[in-house]
């Protein structure tokens, strides 16, 4: 009998976690083989390998403990991959050579599949003097554009998708430009953005006082703190970014405050990390630990929870020794502090099984109690590991016990740490679990409320047909199994109907006993007023949260919609036109033949350092009264360019002749990053000569009215199906319109694809 509770769970396993040969032949025959592979790999560092392998296997069995995706996919494979999910990179130096050394480190890390976080507050603001070169600085955002291009290039080379987090202090002179960066829909698409908000800033906001923007001890200008806060809020209200990180609170609550200063987080915010810090993640599946669900005797077994936490901590500690690292600095940082991030998933389902309404005071109290039990078990397990294997190298008992989360920890735990030390400096974090939650049978994700209790998913079969499949929340399936067709009780609430302040209540309840941080999205209704929206962030601050991320659906950020009927028709049945920025776009069933004569334009690119210029000719055709690109010719006297310019000419022309909105070609070319370095042209950094060609094509498309302006074209190749115009976006992996914001990540409910990997 299959261990999978739902077809989608098995599909996620097969697609993301099942070990296969290079040609796709499965090596893991069953999910039990996957559990065995992971258990054996993590027991390798133990003295009694066989005994611990069995214990680890039983922790993994039936999805009770869920290692993060990179461990599940990579442990025991022998492949050169990191088992750590995300990294905060080294401090970015305020020099050109230092900045590009940091870029190289980022590329090497992302190439191995790690998401990265960076604090760009260390780069001098735009317009600041650059001594010795008689020039003004271009500012941190110009370099963030370079990072953005690098990330897209790494992804296009086939690496596992990795997100990036960029942070900037609330007192940096360029913070206002940072706050408004996502108003340009084409800019910084690979980044999540968060403002590092300090305690003095929040005091100034509440007092409506002045706020200095400072760099290198120089005050560049003074603004009203409340005006700057309102600018953050307005952009977040309109564009879902930037997020807010309460950075002083994070540093005050850090167990390692005596040994490090934190200025950035991983891409989803649940792991504030020092330079070269790495996050190692895993989750206890609370939904699997509830006995007698939906009865008066329902309870979460405390002994089973304690035992599972202790095994999970040991497994995660072993990952520190078993994993590869992209950079030696990351390995050194991880082994000096042995930081892990054990969290939970299935919280909302577990609460439902106990008859508690997510968001209620009772549910918050139960959440806090569970998180405290997990914290105690984690710390005591780490003490036991310290007795056996030694404490983390930077452990200092008196400093450790006088810092951060330790100040509120129970005295028996403190005394055990004082006597024996502790193996892991930090132990708890609540990470995004969207994909592994689907893999575990569609349990509720992380500490989020249930997003949807059931929805219909259309599945593309091998013969090209589509079948419909109901995807049901784990707790709802259990209710149906026990109660039949009895209606769901009133305490079944979902992410869309839950009042935002109840989201905050649950986040604050969980945060109290989490020593790192939490990835959580506070879903707000589209019609929430701006004042009520701002209240959500102030409530998060007042209730002790370490950060706040919201999502309000609108025409800019998109909204969750099901696939329309027209999107499921074959191309021949579907409408043959659709509206885009440039007006009516014609979708062609067959490429057009070339007319005898076409009108066009020729452009010249003189790439710095190249002896010969490139000449780019773009010819157009008029269809249905609209001018559209038809072909491209790229020529140069430099014979080194001959092969790739011919190839590019043929490929782009073939795409143009197929019809439809072909503006995505621009974005694909603009994203190409040359590892040898780009060039500054007309006041902006162009990452490669191919990106320069993309810029020329974009200029031409604007000139002929095919797109409205720079950055206004498609960001990805449209699917073959023609869909009705809508504000929501299609999943890049499966093309369905089931994207949802979960734990700070745009995640597809149909296939599990997540922006954050």
Q: How confident is the model over 737-753, as pLDDT tens digits?
A: 566 666 666 777 666 66
Q: CA-CA distance, 376 to 356, in Å (whole number)?
A: 24
- Please tell me the distance from the alpha carbon of residue 526 to that of residue 552, in angstroms, as a whole number: 5
Q: Is residue 600 part of a domain?
A: yes
99 plus 239 within the same structural domain: yes
Question: Number of structural domains, the chain?
Answer: 3
Domain boundary among 703, 722, 750: 703
Tokens of 215: 């760099």
Q: Which of 151, 170, 268, 279 is catalytic?
A: 268
> Does residue 630 surpass a pLDDT of 70?
yes
Residue 15 has pLDDT above 50, yes or no: yes
Residue 149: left (phi > 0), alpha (psi -120 to 50), or beta? alpha
Q: Looking at the predicted structure, is the pLDDT value of residue 482 above 70?
A: yes
Q: State whether 70 and 105 are in the same domain.
A: no
Higher pLDDT pick, 675 / 5: 5
Burial call 143-173: b when 16+ CB within 10 Å, e when fewer: bbbbbbbbbbbbeeeebbbbbbbbbbbbbbb
Task: Report yes or no on 66 lying in a domain.
Answer: yes
Which of 53, 270, 502, 631 does the annotation list as catalytic? 270
Average pLDDT, the chain: 86
Is 505 a domain residue? no
Q: Does 266 participate in catalysis according to the annotation?
A: yes
The winner for highest mean pLDDT among 88-97, 372-381, 427-436, 566-575 is 372-381
326: exposed, middle or buried (Cβ count in 10 Å: 0-12, 13-18, 19+): buried
608-622 pLDDT, tens digit each: 877 778 899 999 887
Q: Is residue 435 in a domain?
A: no
Residue 295 in this model has a pLDDT that exceeds 50: yes
Question: Bigger pLDDT: 194 or 588?
Answer: 194
Model pTM above 0.85 = no
- End residue of a domain, out of 703, 722, 749: 703
* Residue partners of 45: CB distance under 8 A and separation at least 6: 318, 321, 322
User: CB–CB of 125/174 below 8 Å?
Assistant: yes
Q: What percent of the chain has pLDDT over 90?
A: 60
According to the model, what pLDDT value does residue 756 have? 57
Instruction: Say yes or no: 72 and 168 in one domain.
Output: no
Active site annotation includes 554? no
pLDDT band at 567 (very low <50, low <70, confident <90, very high): very low
pLDDT in tens, 533-563: 999 999 999 999 999 999 888 665 554 433 2
Judged against a pLDDT cut of 90, whether residue 598 lies above it is answered with no
End-of-domain residue from the set 392, 420, 448: 420
Question: What residues have CB less than 8 Å from 499, skipping those under 6 apart?
Answer: 359
Among candidate residues 235, 255, 266, 523, the one labeled active-site is 266
Q: How confident is the model at residue 577 (pLDDT cuts 50, 70, 90)?
A: very low
Shared domain check, 106 and 60: no
Q: In terms of domains, do 246 and 112 share one?
A: yes
Q: Do 224 and 299 belong to one domain?
A: no
In a domain, residue 593? The reply is yes
Helix (H/G/I), strand (E/B), else coil: 104: helix
Rounded CA separation 123/518 (Å): 28
On whether residue 265 sits in a domain, the answer given is no
Residues 57 and 92 placed together within one structural domain of the fold:
no
Domain contains 677: yes
Domain that holds residue 321: 7-78+280-420
Question: Is 432 contained in some domain?
Answer: no
606 and 675 part of one domain: yes
Say yes or no: 245 and 295 in one domain.
Answer: no
Domain match, 101 and 145 both: yes
Based on the fold, state whether residues 662 and 699 are members of the same structural domain: yes
Across 653-675, average pLDDT: 83
Q: Judge if 284 and 391 occupy the same domain.
A: yes
């Amino acid at each position: 009998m299959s261990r999978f509770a739902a077809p989608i769970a098995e599909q996620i396993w097969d697609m993301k976690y099942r070990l296969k040969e290079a040609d796709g032949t499965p090596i893991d025959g069953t999910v039990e083989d996957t559990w065995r592979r992971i258990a054996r790999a993590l027991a390798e560092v133990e003295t009694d390998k066989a005994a611990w392998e069995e214990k680890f296997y039983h922790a993994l069995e039936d999805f009770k403990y869920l290692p993060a995706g990179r461990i599940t996919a990579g442990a025991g494979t022998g492949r050169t991959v990191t088992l750590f999910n995300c990294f905060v990179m080294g401090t970015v130096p305020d020099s050109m050579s230092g900045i590009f050394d940091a870029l190289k480190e980022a590329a090497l890390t992302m190439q191995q599949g790690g998401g990265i976080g960076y604090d760009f507050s260390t780069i001098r603001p735009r317009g600041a003097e650059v001594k010795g070169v008689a020039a003004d600085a271009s500012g941190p955002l110009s370099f963030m554009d370079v990072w953005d291009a690098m990330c897209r290039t790494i992804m296009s080379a086939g690496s596992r998708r990795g997100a990036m987090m960029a942070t900037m202090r609330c007192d940096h002179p360029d913070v206002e430009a940072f706050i408004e960066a996502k108003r340009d829909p084409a800019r910084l698409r690979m980044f999540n953005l968060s403002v590092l908000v300090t305690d003095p800033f929040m005091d100034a906001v509440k007092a409506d006082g002045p706020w200095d923007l400072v760099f290198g001890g120089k005050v560049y200008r003074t603004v009203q703190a409340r005006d700057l806060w309102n600018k953050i809020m307005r952009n977040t209200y309109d564009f879902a970014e930037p997020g807010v990180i309460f950075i002083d609170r994070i540093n005050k609550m850090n167990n390692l405050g005596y040994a490090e200063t934190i200025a950035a987080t991983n891409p989803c915010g649940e792991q504030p990390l020092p330079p070269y810090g790495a996050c190692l993640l895993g989750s206890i599946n609370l939904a699997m630990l509830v006995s007698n669900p939906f009865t008066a005797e329902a309870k979460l077994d405390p002994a089973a929870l304690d035992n599972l936490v202790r095994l999970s901590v040991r497994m995660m500690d072993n990952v520190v020794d078993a994993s590869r690292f992209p950079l030696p600095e990351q390995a050194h940082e991880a082994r000096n502090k042995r930081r892990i991030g054990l969290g939970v998933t299935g919280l909302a389902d577990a609460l439902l099984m106990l008859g508690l309404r997510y968001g209620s005071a009772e549910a918050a109290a139960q959440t806090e109690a569970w998180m405290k039990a997990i914290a105690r078990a984690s710390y005591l397990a780490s003490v036991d590991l310290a007795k056996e294997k030694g404490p983390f190298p930077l452990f200092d008992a008196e400093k450790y016990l006088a810092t951060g989360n330790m100040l509120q920890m129970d005295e028996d735990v403190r005394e055990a740490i004082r006597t024996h030390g502790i193996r892991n400096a930090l132990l708890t974090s609540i990470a995004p679990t969207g994909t592994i939650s689907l893999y575990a049978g569609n349990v509720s994700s992380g500490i989020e409320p249930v997003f949807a209790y059931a929805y219909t998913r259309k599945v593309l079969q091998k013969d090209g047909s589509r079948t419909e499949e109901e995807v049901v929340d784990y707790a709802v399936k259990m209710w149906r199994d026990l109660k039949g067709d009895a209606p769901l009780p009133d305490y079944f609430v979902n992410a869309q109907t839950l009042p935002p302040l109840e989201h905050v209540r649950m986040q604050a309840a969980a945060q109290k006993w989490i020593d790192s941080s939490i990835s959580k999205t506070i879903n707000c209704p589209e019609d929430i007023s701006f004042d009520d929206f701002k209240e959500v962030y102030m409530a998060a601050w007042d209730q002790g949260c370490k950060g706040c991320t919201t999502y309000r659906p609108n025409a800019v950020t998109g909204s969750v919609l099901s696939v329309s009927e027209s999107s499921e028709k074959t191309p021949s049945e579907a409408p043959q036109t659709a509206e885009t920025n440039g007006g009516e776009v014609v979708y062609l069933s067959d490429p057009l033949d070339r007319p005898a004569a076409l009108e066009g334009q020729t452009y010249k690119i003189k790439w710095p350092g190249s002896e010969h210029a490139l000449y780019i000719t773009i010819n157009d055709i008029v269809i249905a009264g609209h001018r559209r690109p038809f072909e491209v010719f790229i020529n140069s006297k430099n014979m080194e360019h001959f092969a790739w310019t011919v190839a590019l000419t043929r490929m782009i022309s073939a795409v143009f002749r197929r019809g439809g909105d072909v503006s995505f070609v621009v974005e694909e070319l603009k994203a190409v990053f040359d590892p040898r370095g780009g060039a500054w042209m007309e006041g902006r950094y162009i990452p490669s000569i191919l990106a320069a060609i993309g810029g020329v094509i974009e200029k031409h498309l604007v000139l002929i009215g095919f797109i409205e302006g720079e950055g206004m074209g498609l960001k990805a190749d449209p699917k073959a199906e023609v869909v009705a115009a809508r504000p929501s976006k299609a999943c890049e992996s499966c093309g369905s319109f089931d994207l949802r914001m979960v734990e700070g990540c745009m995640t597809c409910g149909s296939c599990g694809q997540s922006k954050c990997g």
